[in-house]
Every structure is written in structure tokens, then in C-alpha cells.
Structure 1
Amino acid sequence: MQEHVSDRLVGTLVDDRYAVRSRLARGGMSTVYLATDQRLERDVALKVLHPHLATDDTFLDRLGREAKSAARLSHPHVVGVLDQGNDGQTAYLVMEYIKGHTLRDVINAKGALPPRLALALIDPVVEGLGAAHAAGLIHRDVKPENVLIADDGRIKVGDFGLARAVTTSTSTGALIGTVAYLSPELVLGKQADARSDIYSVGIMLYEMITGQQPFDGDVPIQVAYQHVNGTVGLPSALVPGLAAEVDELVQWCTSNDPENRPVDGNALLQELRHIRTNLTDSELDLRPPAALAAGAQNPTEVIARTSNPTAVMSPFAQPRQQPVAGMQSPPAGQPTSFLPGPDYPGAQQGSGYDGYIPPTPAPLSKRARRKADLEDERARSRAAATPVRSLREGNPRRRGVLWVVILIIAVLLATGAGWFFGMGPGSPATVPAVANKTVAQAQQLLAEAGFQSRTSDVFDDVVPSGLVVGSQPEAGTEIRKFQPVALLVSKGPELFGLPELTGKTLDQAKDALNKAEMALGKITEKFDEVAAAGVVLAQDPASGTPSRHGTPVNLTVSKGPQPIPVPSVVGQGQDDAVQAIEAAGLKAVIAPDRVNDKKIPKGAVASQSPASGTLTKGGTVTLTVSDGPKLVNVPSYIGKQASDARKALEKLGFEVKVNNILGGFFGTVRDQDPVNTAVPEGSVITLTVV
């Protein structure tokens, strides 16, 4: 749920790209906002770091490197890192926006979960961590708050790179993250690796099954002390009847010594799925005491086995109606399940009945009863006609020999069967671990264990081509030696040809990438004299290039023809002006009519259109050429008053200069130059005044 609070960043634009819409959450290192990437027109999660981290240059440098590492990890169960940068005092990470809720919300809402649901929720978390560990990334802050569950059921692990950047480059300390899930080595400030994440997963699984964390204290240091010096208890101590395999899984993950834990997420995932496959329905659907207490307030009816054997109760399913009066409970040992809610991944509507109703035989018709009575009578007649004693008893000695022969054959068969099933091809053996080994090495291990093997090629995004992904049956499974074992050999990641994007609009290219399940990479814009703005000019990698799903494709997009500034040529000679216009890549056109201009000499450019701004290549600039100033006749004002003569001459567009003789006492024009002749507009007329 989004938080509707006042925040200085809400409503602002970060880095001229990310429009902040609302605040989602606030943590110890950052605040998370819902923002819109205006360049790509999509919602993103904008994680803005707190000021004490944003001012640490060493941390920001480390964060940039960690963000790049996390961005290279593309996996369906890991939240994608899309961007990282600084905008003034705002340091931020941009991540994929997952609309939904967190695993913490599920635990808070439901408390202890049935083993089936707990193992189903933890499976994608471990798979995502396994992919990260294979890529050399360590999370360091695995906790329910960082497990995101989308509304459509997708489960993803978030915050890769941030915790590692903080613990490596700042003084925030070795206890960064939630202390309830920290591994002992992180508490002691030692080097962390993939096994530190595995410890956190074990604590998280314990909490999901029991509804509470294994260690508690009044202050965080007390909890940290217990991580180092204590031992995580068995979940079955709080959940009676819990399968021993689940207890062992939690203890294996939470061992104080990292050497006694699974080496990474992939090793844990293999064992986790083996346990999920081999537990019975009653063990998987065991309801913890906390769940039973919740069920008393919000009952969930018992129903018969559904058509979906893996169905579990959704943590957000609505309770169904109470069973119909008189409906019976299932008999002892009858497997039961819970009807999945509509929002649980994989749930199928109508996968169960509304209650358990034992089958009742339908009453027989009169005709059917008569037919049944006739059949009974015939059966009694056949029984009466069958002799119960042989008329010929046979030779007792012959019968004794026959029994000896039968006993000898039985002994031989028993001996052969004992050898076959005890030491021979039928004896049981455990399938060895062959993952990440060459085919020859895997075949040798299987042969030493007494198995015959065959190979089958499969695609795999993690295991390099030519190495063994795993086996079928899986490693650790006990089978008879005569049963074949299939080696699944990696062909590398499945590759798909990239679509042709050049010539498409940017929106069309995005749609094509989404349909091909590829990612949009860097967008570079450039001017192009032919392609319209927004059209894709080039792509990298090129179309048809074999690529795995999620490969980013960089696009070069047209900005349209390059704008050219219009040069100003007013006052220049006609030839010079035309040359300047054409040198800029534009076309000069001379207007047919000339104009008089008292300031622009004849033959020079008096005006141009457009006078400024920009045009595209080949655009037209119209030039109007001056015909010089127009000629105006100068009338004589000799003998008139100087003030009247000045006004009249200035009205005709002349400049007037007055020379006073004897102080110009009378103010009369005695002489004028020029006079009674045509001169250019704006010329100077000299008046001599007495």
C-alpha cells in the first residue's frame, strides 16, 4: 500500500527524467518512491539514499560499481536494477517497480504458514539468490521485507548491491541490515559470501513455519549475540508433527559454521525441491498451532482431495462458506487440501468440492433386484455341483518328491533374489551429485555407484555448455542399480533471434522487444536528414543475432533533420548575402521588388525573411534588396522664419542645420543650402539665419 504523506520530493522531477508521484516506504538507508520514467514512459521504483550516505563520495563510487554489477543480473526472481545516478544532493537507484506486497505482509497477516506454502514461497527466493551467487553477487540483507510478491504472483528478491556497497565503503558498520537475519560472520565483521545469504534464508524459513523469529531481545545487540553464540532451535518444537526433513533443512541453513551450510543458493535449491517432492500431502499441509488459532476465527472448511495436488491455501484467500449441515468429515488418513484463493499463483477455481461426502450406493430397482437374486441362485447351484474332495488321492511318495523339488526351487529363487536385490543390479544405491561436472566425470561417478547412464541435452541459463546440469532422478535419490539414470547436459542458454527494429517508431520497437521477451537498452538520439523524428535508425546487437531472453538491445533513434541557424545578412551586398546563406546550407531567393532605405545603400540587403531562428537543410531565405534612399525636392524657405522652415524640412525627412549670423536676432532665413533641387531623403539642409 502506498503511503500518502507530505514529502519534498513528491511532485518533483529527479535528474530531468524521473517524475516522483508518491512515497512508498522509508527504511534505514533510503526512501522508496513510485516514479514515472518520462523517457521510457513506465513506472519505476526510485530509491533515494539518505543524506548521510549521499554525501559520502567513497560510498557513491562503490554504489555505482555495485549497481552496474546488479544490473547485469537478469533473472525472473530478481528485481532488475535499471539506473543509478546523482542529481545535486539526491543520490538514487532506479529499480523495477513491483506492484503488490512483501513477504513480511504475508507473515504479519497469516502468522505461521503450512509447510507447503512456506516451501513454495521460499523456492523462487532461493532460485533468485542462486542465480546471483553464480554471477558473483552477494545480497547480505535477505529478509522478508526484501522479498516482493507481485499482484500476478511473481516473487522477486530486491535490493541487490545496496547492502554490499554500504558495508564495504561506509562507517554504517558491519551490522547493516536487519539484525534478526544477520549471519554470525557478518555480526563479527568477517568476510561474507553466499553462505551468509543462506543463513538469512534459514532464519526466514524458520519464521515462516513457526510465525516467530528464533532469537529475541530487548536491544539489537542481544539478538546479534545469540546469532554468534546460540543455536537455532528445531521448528518442530513449536509446530508438533512437522516433518524431520524440514527441521534438518532449517538446521543445515542456520549452522553457526559457514562450512556446514549449503555452498550457495543453487545447492540449497536442489535439496529444497527434493524435500518438497518427497514429503507426503499430510506433512505438507500440516497446519501449525498459530494457523489453527487463526482458523478458529476465520474458519476454512475441510474438503476432499482436489485435482491439483499442490494446491495450498492462499494467504489472501477469502473464507468459503461453512459446510452444509449433516456433512461428514473425511475418514482417518484421507488426504485433505485447502481450496486455493483466486490470488494465489497457480490456483485453479473449482479445484475442490465444498465438503467431504462419503459415497453412498444408489438403491436398486425391482428389476435389478430380481436379476441379482437369479445370479445368486445360479452361483449356489454351481457351488453344489463342484466336488470338494478328489476321487483319486494320488501317490504319497510322489507328492513328497514334488514338495522337495518345489522347496529347492524356492530356495534357489530366494538366494538369487537375495543376491540380485542385496548385492546385484537390484540393490539400492544413492544417485551421486553430478551437477557442473563434465559428461565423462559424471558417467564415471555413476558407474562407480553401479548405475547405467544416458545423456539428454537441455538448455540452461547458468551451467556452461557441455557440463552436466543435473540428473534424473535427482542427486541424493535412492533407487535400484538396474534403473537408468539420465544425465541432463547443458546446451547453454536457449537463444532467440533478435527482431528487426530499424525503420520502426520507438513505441513499435518497444512493443517488438516486449513480445520477443528482450530488454530495452540504451537509447541514443541523432539528427537524420531523411528519417522522421522518433524512427529507429540502428540497433545493437543487430536483428537476427542469437540472444537469450532479457538481452538489452541498444537503439539509435532519429531526432529528425538537424536545425540550421538562419544567418543575418541585412546591410551586406547582394552577392555577399547570397553566398553567406548558401554556405549555411540554405537557399537564398531575391525578392522581385526593391525598397528605398535611407540607411541601406543601393544594392545591399534591406531586409530578410526569416530574419532569425532555424531552418532545416535546404530551407529558403527571401532577401529584399535596397534601392537606396528616395530623392526628395527641397523647397526654398529663404525669407521665412527659421522655426517654420525647420519644421517643414524635418517633416519632409531632412536633417536641419542652422547657422546664426549676428546671433540670429530676427530669426529670418537669409540663405539655404541646398535649395530648389532633389536630394536623397535624410540629407542635411543648412539654413543661414539673421
Structure 2
Amino acid sequence: MEGLRLGGRYQLEARVGGGGMAIVYKARDLILNRQVAVKVLRSQYGTDEDFVNRFRREAQAVASLSHPNLVGVYDVGQENDTHYMVMEYVEGSTLKEMIVSRGALPVEEAVRIAAQICDALDHAHQNQIIHRDIKPHNILIGKNGRVKVTDFGIARAVTSTTITHTNAMLGSVHYFSPEQARGGITGEKSDIYSLGIVLYEMVTGELPFSGDSPISVALKHLQEPLPEPRQLNPGIPQSVENVILKALVKDPFLRYASAREMLEDLETCLFPERLHEEKLIFPVDDEETRVVPIITPDMLEKQGKGRTGTGQRSRYEQNDDDEEQKTPKKWWVKALMWVGGIGLFFVLAFFGFNLLLNLFPSVPEVAVPPVEGTHVTLAKQKIEDAKLVANVIEEASDTIEQDIVIRQDPAPPMRLKEKATVTIYVSKGQRAVDMPNLITLPRSTAEDQLKQLGFKAENITFVEQEDDEAEAGVVIDQSPRFNEKVYPSKDTVTVKVSKGKSFVSMPEVRGKTTEEAQVELLKKGLAVGAITKEPSYTEQREGIVLSTHPYDPGMQVQKGVAVPLTVSNGQFPLDAKLANAPVYVEVVPGESVDLKIEVSDARGDKQGIQQEVIVESKEFIVPIVLSPQKDAVIRVFIKGANNQYMEYQTIPISYSSLP
């Protein structure tokens, strides 16, 4: 259907997803000039009037919802037999794709995502909308990290019609609630159960129930106990596991009363004071493992056929003629027989009870001693002293030292008969893992890998240092080394991250020869760039450095940078004018004059040209260099009686005055 225009305004561009009921296309709203997602019902459902009517009503109801964590519904329409829904387009990926690519997510990130889903469900439930198909495939994660719940409306329409027509359950069986699997009435608590499965999968990377067929998975939701998340990922705090356990309890009455209640629990479950709270334990339901089928009209019909026909008489029915033939007994005879029988029963029961007490003396009860947190040897001794039997089971633990009791079953204040068994779970020590290779990874990727292994943020230290080879932000060293055995719960990791190449101060090389400048630059770790020869007013020695632009002396320059050099070619520029200006100094006979001559021209200001003592009048020839931008000024100074030089004569010479 790519290229098709629906409703005269929605141009379908590309297929981006789909399921059993609908196909999703990326499209453009030509009127508002924005990107949208268009969900088109498959053709086999478009001719079912009952389904279409329900779909429209549900789509309109969902369109009335407005929440930052819900995919907005903009429009619903029909083009011939094609029914479609126009929704907000979310640029990103599904939560399922994220779990498949990354495995178990960090607990903090999983809780943040679950809280946003819960907030969206709370808003929908308050508006009497039940999702009924919460699963990671229907959770979109935008590029900005915003969580969006999608596929509202269709889930409700589907569950109310296709079960009637196909006698099949829709949605993903791995995320079914027990009441959905049983085919019963579903409501808000079914969404809460499904969200619990999603949170379970996020923190463990695995589904709690799987099987060879949908029926086998559904039966596991009904019958089998939930595999505890902390058995798969010991890094999960107890408070987070409690949230999952309460959302996934099979009895809906024991689950969270509402999505709002679950949201409030999620918002506080990572508070430090809650991380090590007591584990939730729910009462055992003796009926939990019984799967009671729903009674259908067919079953009632079959039951009716098995009954005895109305024209036949049961062998337990009495004939009126037989009743008449029996001789009635006197009422006092019957009463006496009843009293005698009851009395005999009590006498026999009394003697039988005494006989049992003598044969099987009562076993006294004893209190179960607390042994959690103690050494296994001491724990066994306490249990044996209480006249109980210890059953030791070892398991790995990242937080409990070796040979220390992690938990016990049963625990105080339970009382047991003497010789009863108390199971204690003893730590085998922390589980060592291989240290991953972090070198060359970006800092954020390295941090994510460490957290997925179970390292806590406070045990990870990042150190930035300059490096002439690696780009900024890339890991250049690590401790412990790659493949070393580490214990994520207790070991610390130091990761060195490149700040990029180091910087040095640009040396002053102007006025030096080209060879001298190269030596100074190499000492600083800098390279010599292009060497350009130019004429100069200020320097007529060939090969003398005039400029290092754009790197000025004292500037901080990254190591390895090639510094360009501009050097003198030993000549003046072509527009320069050179001249010899005569300067006459008169001396009174018999006296002497101590003089100094300075020149300011294109070569620079206050250049000392002449300084001497003369005893007679003399003419000096002063060389000058002028440029279009700079005229020349010759100044003659004579030392006075106070031994200070005083200006004696000033001779200005303009560029235009020379040929």
C-alpha cells in the first residue's frame, strides 16, 4: 500500500510494522505537513461490521486520551473497505528491540521505563480504557528517552469479537494474566500483571514462563510458581523484586489495587531505605493449581443427554405399591435404635482416641531459631539444639560472604514439631565474572557494560588524562585488566578516558633562523608546517622567521600541530622607497657636541642610527626606508648641561616627496 493516499491527506510512505490485526505505515499528513503513523486494519477484518463498529468506538475513546506517555491518536477514517487510524509517529525503537540488543537493562533504567508505562495505564484506566495487550513490542522508546505506550483500542475491540468468532485468545501469551489465560473477565489488574511481566523481562533479560506451545505457556501462568527474579539477577534490589512479585501474584485480589498504587511503589523502590526491605510473601492458595474450564452451552447439552429418560424409573425410586406392602414399624422402636447407635458410637470413639494416644504419643512443638546471617556451622548447631533437622542448600551470592546463611525456611516466629526440617540457604561466595575489554570503547558504552555486570556506580572511577593517540572520550586503559576475574559487588574499577592530545605553550621563534625555530618547535612536540618566504620591511636577513600565524607566542597549542613559518627572503617589498637623507649638525669652534640620531620609518620606530661626540660641524648621511603606509622622521638629540638629551632637530620626509 506504499504510495496510497488515505482520506485525501495521509500519504503512506513505508511499512514500519504490523501484527495479526493491522499493518502500520509511516506516512505524511499533507495538510499539516507532519510525519504520522497510520495503522490499517487487515482486509479480512474490514468486512466484519460488528468488529468495525467496536473498533471505531474504541479508537474514538482512545483518541480522547491525552498523556505524554501515550501515543496520541489524531484521526480515524475509512477509505472504501480500508479502515485506518492515524497516530503520533515516534522516532525510535520498541522496548523489545532494546531488550534483545542489550539484554537485561540496568535496574534504574528499567524502573524508570516501568514507571512511565504505569503512569500511562493509570490515565487510561481512569478513563475506563483497558489495554489488554501490554508487552515490550507495544512500548516505544523515543530517541529522547520518552516512553510511549501504543496499540490501545484495537486490543479491546479484538478481545471482544474475535474470541466469539474464532474461539482463540489474542495478544501475546507470554504476557497473559492468569484470568486472561483462563478466558475470564479481564480488567485493570490484567494490565498490571502484564506490566509486571515486562518489568521482569527488563531486569532479568528473560521471560518467566515459556513453552513449546501457547497452551503450555498459558497453563504455566495458571499453575506454576513464579521463578524469582533475584535468582536470575542477584543485582536486583529486594524492593524492586517485591514490586514484581506483587504485580505477578496469581490472585488478582492480592495484586496492586490500581496502576496508581503500583506507580507510587515504583517511585520509591530505589530509595536507599527500601533497597533491603523484607521479601513479600503471599498466602498459598490451595485452589491455585486447579484449572476450572468455563462451562459452555455445549457442555450443558451433553450433561443433559446423559440423564435417565422421563419414561424410565431409577432403581433408587420406590414404587407406591412396594411402600404399601411394607409393614410400618412403631415410632418408639426407631427412636430407641437411634439413641443406642449414637451412644455406642461415642463409647467406641472415646476408647479409640485413648488407644491412639497410647500408640502415638504427641510430639512437642519447638520454636524455629533465627539463623540468617550466621555461619553455617553455628546455624546447624542452633537448629540441632532446638531438636530440629537442618537441610543445607548452597547458592551463589554477590552480597553474602561464603558459608553465611542467606535465608531460612521456615523462619521465626514459626513453630515446628520436633525432628521437622529447616532448610537453610548458604552462600557459596560471590560469583566471579570475567572483566570485559573496555579499551577503545566510548565512556558511556563502557559504563553501561560495567553496570550490566552488576558493578555499582560508586565502585566505578573514571580518570581523564591527555593522550596523543586516542580521541577525546575513548577508554585508553582499565584496571582490572581484560579477562581478569572480578566480583562486581565488591571490586572497584578504574577506567582511564582520553582527554585528547595534550596542549603546550607556543614558543617564541620570531627573529630566529629557520633551523633554530624548527629545533624549538620539535622540543615542544610541535611539527613544522609550510615555510613561506616573503619580503619584509623589518628584516633583511634571509631565512629569519617573521611570523608563526595563526599560532601566536604563549598560545596553548595541541601537541603534534604543524606550525607554519613565514620567513624573510632578504628583500624589501616592491613598493618600498629607499633614500639617503643628509643631516647637518653645526658646532661652535672650540666646543664639542654629544649627539644621537634616531629614525622612525617603515622598518620601525626610534631606530638608533648614530651616536657620537663631534668637535666641529658635520654632515651625516642617514639611510631611510619608506612605505605607502609609513613616512620617515629623523630626529637629532644633543646632550645638554644637565647631562640629558634634548631634541635638537626634526626632519620629516614623506613617501610622496621621493621619486
Report the TM-score, using the length of structure 1 for normalisation.
Answer: 0.43
Larger radius of gyration: 2
Report the TM-score, using the length of structure 2 for normalisation.
Answer: 0.44
* Larger relative strand fraction: 2
